Each structure stands twice: as structure tokens, then as C-alpha cells.
Chains A and B, each alone.
Chain A
Amino acid sequence: MEEKELYLLITRYLSNTTSTEENEVLADWLAADKKNEQTFEEIKLIWLGYQRSADAESMNALDRLHSRIAAEQPALAPARWHRFNRYITAAAAVIVIAAGWFAFESLRAEGSAIYLSVNTTSGQKKKLTLEDGTKVILGPESSLSYPKSFDDANRKVSITGEAFFEVSKNPHRPFIVQTAAMNVQVLGTHFNISAGKSDAVNTVSLFEGKVRVKLKDEQSEEYMLKPGQELSVNRHTQRVFQDQLDSASVLGWLNNVLIFKNEELGEVAPRIEKMYGVKIVFTDQATADTKLYAMFNNQALTEVMNTICASGTLAYHREGNKIYIKSKSYKEKSTSTL
């Protein structure tokens, strides 16, 4: 049997689509030579070893679809509306834009270009398309500064905070993102930048395409990133870390995904605050020290809080934008209703 027939027979066997006769042929072949067993194992490894994973691009596309669906059905009966809550939370940022974008625009001249800026508060996300077609999703507590129209030589923007970029291809006009610690030059891609104002470390994570990163203070140093890699720079020490990226953690904010891996509640509270625009108050240290192992995928705040308190040792109540969490065993002078 020629190799082509053989390999395909093996893969079809592994997919459970072979007949009894074919199985016998395969068994005979396996028995004929020890090397055949090895070949079989190698093919089995690559055929069965896969795992589906949705990448950022697909998650983005799903977000876009959510907003299209939601836009079509504004007048839903209350019962059905509840089911669409999940869509709305994810698409909220986009809908806000569609329904009359409320941007904090300030004009600032930089060189010959006039720069606009867009800001977000905590719990808020914004999406915009730049003059060249580049799509930007701006995370909470972030700001993006961009020119109304790009000049001929290159396309420069700057950000603090968090943003996800889908840069439209143009080899003649490199796209450059400036943060406090680095300049990221882009070659047609999808990538995420995390560069919060108070962050010591700025990180760029690449999903597709190529980026070249230059450190702000050392113009001679250059790093090329490939998809699946991320680069972090410490603003103060200028130390650089290059790593493989864990896309679920990096893009958590994009899709309202929160992941806590055995972390203390006190440590993770800021991420909850940022995503939902609330303030969390711990009434005692024990509560803040409570460790949490959970993943929340685009859920309403109440569901997140209920899950956190589901273990039975914690309780919370909400007053406007403030959330108070306490240990149930904590003794208070006054009674409080939950």
C-alpha cells in the first residue's frame, strides 16, 4: 500500500470511519513491522492532539454580531429581554457608540497634526475606527490620543491604559503606538497593549501579524514579536520580559472575562472595580484575605458577587456604586440587611 493510502487509512481509523475490512488491513500492517507501530503512534499524536480554541479575532467578531442582533431588537418583551442581558453587557460599549458617541474630545496640536483624545472611565469601554480603517477597542480607565488624519510618513497614536488594536494593512505607513515605556511599531496586526498610568510595567501582546517594539529610553534596543508572544517593559528599571501569552487572561477585559487563580479577594478587587465601575469596600481583613478561584465570562455584576459569596462565609450588600463585603462571622454593632 502506498504511503498516501496508508496515512489516510490511519486518520480515518482514528476518526472511527473505517470498515471492518479496513481495520483488518491496518492491523496486518501494524503487525508486520515494529517501525509501523511507531509511525502509527506519530500520526495518532498529531491527529488526536488538537484542541479547538477560539482566538481573539473570533471573540471580537462575536461581539460585533451581538451588537448587530441587539440593534435589531430594541423592543423585546421583558422576559426575553432578560435573556439578552448577556449580549447587552458585552455589546454595551459598542451600542453606546452607535447611539450617539459621547467622547471627551479635546484638541491638542502636535506638530502639524491635530490630535483628538478619547477617554474611558472604569466600567466603560469604547470602540473606534481611525481614519485609516484601524479599529481600536479602548478598555476601562484608559485614554487614546490620535490625529484626525494621519500624516504621510506614518500613523502615530498614544495610549495610557488598555486597548486592543486591529490595524489595517499599509506597508508604506507604519502604525506606531506610543506608551510611557515603549513605542510599538506595527506591521498589519491584532494586538493588545496594557500600559496603565500607574502601572510600572507596560505590556504588548500579539495575536496576529508582527510588531517591532522599541524602548522609549533606549532607542537602539529593538524587539520583534511573533503571534502568541508578549513583551513587558518595566518603566523604571527598563527590564524587558518576553513570554508566551495566555490569551484568556490578557483579553479578559475585552470580553468581560475575569479569571482569579487562587488569588486574594483584596488583590483582585481592583479588577472587578475597573470592569464594572464600582468601588469595593472590605469591612474586615479576613474578607480581603479570602482566596478565590473562579472564572466569570461576561456576567452581570450581581452574578459575580453572588458567586463570590456562594461559599457561605461571605456576604455583600450594595449601596449605589459601592459594594460592601464582609465575613458572615464578623460581629458588628448594628445589624445590617443583606
Chain B
Amino acid sequence: MTNNALEDNLLLSRIKNSETPAFDQLFLKYHPNLLRFSRSLLPYPSDAAEDLVIEVFHKLWQDRSSIIIHSSLSALLYKCVKNRVYDHYRKHKMAVLTTLEEMPEDLDLHYASPDQVFDYKELAQNLERLIKKLPEKMQVIFRMSREDNLSYQEIADLLEISLNSVKTQMYRAVKYLKESYRLDNMAF
């Protein structure tokens, strides 16, 4: 089991024990990425994407004593968000997500070269800013894999795209970050 999964299991058992700080910790851990995921699936601007994610955690708290995790907690959370997105579409009679497969643009490194030279010492901050520059869907996929430890297959299922698309997006993201980081640091 990965470290992440171990940590999640620990948090979950504390949450079942009604320990509110553990719940807060879990929320703050997953909320940012789940929100991005939700927003990538729903047209913006609207409060629906935000409310949806909050409701998932709300339900988690309400049903905490009866939760059983089959795969991973992170995969479960993403699935819950996605289910609610579908409900939202059904309720509002919108066409079901067709834009997912349309993975965008090759990132042109020429445009990506630093518009500002980073002079922070913190690697994490640098990276976060670079990651935020990735196109929306690519960024969501990248974070699902690297931060929330979902497998490529899980990602493909959630976004309803091919496994190969996921791999391609991951590759491009890694390549972009690697090249951009090197460019930035050459300025030192």
C-alpha cells in the first residue's frame, strides 16, 4: 500500500471516531484537486462545481460510521464527485460531457518560457506555479496521478478517455515541467 493510502486509512479511522480535526485534514488534502476536477467537467462560472464537492464531503461526514473503502479513498472521492456531476447534468438536461476527449494543444515551450524569473528558494512553490500553467484537463490528470495517486486506468475511467490519452497527457505534462524548470533555473 502506498504511503498516501496508509495515511488516508488512518485519517478515515479517526473520522469514523468522529474526530473533527482528521476530517478537516482530509478535506484540505483533497478539496483543491477535487474542485479542479469538478470545474473541468462543469461549465464555469457557476456555483454548482463548488457546492458539489462540498456536498461529497458533507455526505462523507454524515455516513462516516458506515464507510467501507474498496479501492482507494481518493478514487472513491473522485467517483462521488463525478456521479454528482452526472446528476447535475441530468437535472439540468444538459448534454453529457462530450469535450473530455478533446485534449488540447501541444504546449509550446516558446510561450512557456518564464515571464518572470523565480527567485524563491522553495522548489514546491516554483513547481506549483508551473503546474498551474498547464492546460486545465492536463493539469487535472497530472494532479490525479501525482498528488492523489490514482492509476492511469482509474483516471481513464473517471474522465472517460482512453488509457493512451492519459499516458500522453502525463508525458506532455512531465516534459513541460522538466523543460520549464530547467529554463527557469538557468537564469540563476
Contacts and interface: CB of A to CB of B under 8 A. Distances in A.
B45 interface: yes
Please classify how large the interface on chain A is, using the bins under 10, 10 to 19, 20 to 34, 35 or more. Answer: 35 or more
Interface stretch (B82-90, B94-102, B124-132): B124-132
Contacts of B50: 61
Contacts of A69: 58, 61
A11 interface: yes
Nearest to B27: A62
Contacts of B123: 45, 49
A64 B54 CA distance: 8
Interface stretch (A19-27, A81-89, A105-113, A327-335): A81-89
B174 A11 contact: yes
A43 to B, nearest CB: 6
Contact of A7 (B27, B131, B149, B171): B171
Interface stretch (B16-24, B72-80, B106-114, B153-161): B16-24
A4 B171 contact: yes
Nearest to B152: A8
A261 interface: no
A228 B31 CA distance: 19
Given A57-B32, A57-B35, A58-B35, A52 B147 contact: yes
Contacts of B61: 65, 69
Please classify how large the interface on chain B is, using the bins under 10, 10 to 19, 20 to 34, 35 or more. Answer: 35 or more
B18 A83 contact: yes
Given A4-B171, A42-B181, A244-B120, A15 B45 contact: no
A86 B35 contact: no
Nearest to A10: B174
Interface in B1-32: 2, 18-21, 24, 27-29, 31-32
B127 A46 contact: yes
A226 B167 CA distance: 32
A50 B128 contact: yes
B32 A87 contact: no
A169 B44 CA distance: 10
Given A49-B123, A49-B127, A62-B24, 14 more contacts: A7-B171, A7-B174, A42-B182, A46-B174, A47-B146, A50-B147, A54-B29, A55-B32, A57-B32, A62-B27, A64-B54, A65-B54, A68-B58, A84-B20
22 contacts: A4-B167, A4-B168, A11-B145, A43-B174, A46-B127, A46-B130, A46-B174, A46-B178, A46-B181, A50-B146, A52-B32, A54-B28, A57-B32, A57-B35, A58-B32, A62-B31, A65-B54, A65-B57, A68-B54, A83-B20, A86-B20, A228-B129
